[in-house]
Homo-oligomer: A and B are copies of this chain.
Amino acid sequence: MLEDKNTHRTHLSELGEFGLIDHLTKDFPIVNPSTLKGVGDDGAIIDFGDQKAVISSDLLIEGVHFNLSYVPLKHLGYKSIMVNLSDIYAMNAIATQVVVSIAVSNRFPVEALEELYEGIRLACDIYKVDLVGGDTTSSTRGLIISVTAIGMAPQEKIVYRNGAKENDLIVVSGDLGSAYMGLQVLERENEVFKVNPNMQPDLESYQYLIERQLKPEARKDIVLLLDKLGVQPTAMMDISDGLSSELLHICKQSHVGCRLVEEKIPLDPTLINACEEFTLSSTMVALSGGEDYELLFTIAPSDYDKIKGNPNLSVIGYITEPAQGCNLITRANEAIPLKARGWNAFR
């Protein structure tokens, strides 16, 4: 049927994930005055009077976003909540509720889903969010998890992607690239296991990396810290696709350029060791790895003293006028254009 109707067929890969959603939603008008922000940021913003609601939604598909041969279901449940809470925190809001829908094939026993919900419950417990709804249904193949998170913030606290100004400092929380290297380690061990199921992997030296991949934490603490420090970011995003991809989003939506300083990118020593072992560039991994769920934001230069020396935060560059473009300043002090090589759902 599809074949007959469409004389011209455009392959999905021609648009890519962001191109596709932009393309499909470009003609949708906004008619409700309560819609303060629609498609195009980490979350939508809805006006409920006193408080504004932030809504974010993600769909996780077995075989695309996770592989159950090395991801325990409890961790998967935990992570599926983190991925969404991270989007709420990236708007500088506090997550309050989640709605979780799952579709499963009959190969899953109830006990497997109990494990999944144990992880969901742990995440709700630690992050103080309420599970308020959801739908369970069957799938023809595999496990599908859909999570919608709801958060709240007063309007003046909400941070979009488009507020970065020339001379603002670029700041990132935690360290980058470890979640990606954790995945590389897990995939390698999975291949080894397939060849020799009796082999006991020694993963101790990779523990930090694997934990970053399997059990990431959304940075609610950073939202609370910024509030405590009296810092209102000018733009913010969470790092799900990779530092370069997210920074390019902020620059594009804020109509500015940037200079990202390679030597300032925070890397864990375990990551540096693993990159050497896998003969990968740690800078490339940090720029393009994704799934770190750290917060990337920009602040006015006058706020620098408030964050200076905080072990959770690293200043990694600054915003420039748009004409200068978006560049990485290498250790050799060369400027090379930043490219979005982040994880692309349709590659």
Contact = CB atoms under 8 A, between A and B. Distances in A.
Interface of A: 1-2, 5-6, 8-15, 17, 20-21, 23-25, 27-32, 34-35, 37-39, 43-44, 46, 48-51, 53, 55-59, 61-65, 68-69, 72-73, 96-97, 99, 101-104, 106-115, 117, 121, 124-125, 128-142, 144, 146, 148, 150, 152, 345-346
B137 A17 contact: yes
Contacts of A125: 29
9 contacts: A10-B111, A12-B104, A23-B110, A39-B133, A49-B51, A50-B50, A53-B150, A57-B134, A61-B140
B133 A44 contact: yes
Nearest to A18: B136
A130 B35 contact: yes
Contact of A46 (B11, B59, B62, B96): B96
Contact of A135 (B53, B58, B136): B58
Secondary structure call for the A interface: mixed
Given A48-B50, A109-B9, A142-B140, A132 B55 contact: yes
A145 B48 CA distance: 27
Contacts of A9: 109-111
8 tightest CB-CB pairs across the interface, nearest first? A48-B48, A44-B132, A49-B50, A9-B109, A10-B110, A146-B146, A63-B140, A44-B133
A161 to B, nearest CB: 13
A345 B96 CA distance: 29
B103 A59 contact: yes
Contacts of A21: 134-136
A2 B109 contact: yes
Contacts of A35: 96-97, 130, 132
A138 B346 contact: yes
Please tell me how many copies of the chain the complex holds.
2
A1 to B, nearest CB: 6
B106 A12 contact: yes
B10 A109 contact: yes
B111 A345 contact: no
Nearest to A345: B137
Given A10-B109, A32-B128, A111-B9, A135 B59 contact: yes
Nearest to A110: B10
A296 B72 CA distance: 42
A253 to B, nearest CB: 15
A6 B117 CA distance: 15
Given A51-B48, A61-B144, A24 B101 contact: no
Contacts of A136: 17, 20-21, 24, 345
Nearest to A347: B138
B46 A117 contact: no
Given A110-B14, A132-B44, A101 B55 contact: no
A72 B5 CA distance: 10
A130 B38 contact: yes
Contacts of A117: 24-25
